[in-house]
Amino acid sequence: MSTASEVTLITGGAGFIGSNLADRLCRMGRRVLIYDNLSRPGVERNLEWLQTEWGDLVDVEIGDVRNKSSLSKAVKHAHSVFHFAAQVAVTSTLTDPVHDFEVNVGGTLNLLEAIRSMSDPPSLLFTSTNKVYGNLAQLTLRDDRTRYRPEDSWVSSHGISEKSPLDFHSPYGCSKGAADQYIIDHVRSFGLPFAVFRMSCIYGPHQFGTEDQGWVAHFLIRALEGQPITLYGDGKQVRDILFVEDLINAFLLAEKNIGTAAGHAFNIGGGVANTISLLELVEFIDELRGIPTKTISEEWRTGDQRYYVSDTSKFHAMTGWKPTVGVFKGVERLYNWLSENTPVAQRKAVS
């Protein structure tokens, strides 16, 4: 096992965001400890990639954040922590909200308390969600052909800021929001070096998206497999999407500036320059493939926001960060990666 002065702990590190962060850190010569229970389908492939690529720079501990003992042992080796381990599917939280609470709230509190017990606590960055703002029903929207647009000119120009009232929707929103608030309060109450990212939609390589989480990759995978895409609601929902490389840049800046970032929550996403609706993504996928994609319409899902775009000006003012990868270039890059790395693509390569 690596020494404490050398290791960055990434809970949920075998997942999409965690594996991309681990890769970047290893490229910088930093050692990482991935703590993951491998519950998400496909993450073993990410671990295999990281270990093949980086060898001894990557330590792996198979563990669950609900296990206080193993989590405490992992934290002892860390000088910096990125906390991504979570139950992430909104639909699953509606089926089993207790499990959702135990992982997202209980697991996070286990980690915070393990860090608080250390004589030299590491910094921690937590990935929260835009769902802490609820369904934003107070926004007045106009209905264009392919998307909703806010009537409020300030929201249209800037997006949703951290000043928006918290309004947790769905058990998932409640559990992530509670964890978000525990982290901010651990800074207030105990002076710990923690910060929160309230994230919009992240996409990029090594994302094997599902209908419940990772919708950009999920749409691309369905299209590549020749399967229909299900649109919940009317498909005019708008999100700002952020390419994972830009998110990693933000992580590293937050870590570097943790002295000023501690105690703050930041809305992080592609911002107003990088928005797309579900219908617009389907249209772009059709352009990439040269053939139309079949869609299926279903009812709106609980807590779905018709419009969410991050106002990232607070984090930009503190660190100078801004996205560099545009929507269409980023989606095309993910499409090309998935074309070579999905099971369907691999079967075609063999046949």
Q: Which residues are catalytic?
A: 172
> For residues 283 and 286, what is the distance between their CA atoms, to the nearest angstrom?
5
Q: For 310, which DSSP code?
A: B
Residue type, 138: Q
> For residues 40 and 224, what is the distance between their CA atoms, to the nearest angstrom?
21
Residue type, 152: D
Tokens 């094997």 sit at which residue?
A: 208
- Coil vs helix vs strand at 267: strand
Residue type, 5: S
Tokens 């681990």 sit at which residue?
A: 22
On whether the CB atoms of residues 1 and 78 are closer than 8 A, the answer is: no
> For residues 125 and 255, what is the distance between their CA atoms, to the nearest angstrom?
7
> For residues 263 and 195, what is the distance between their CA atoms, to the nearest angstrom?
5
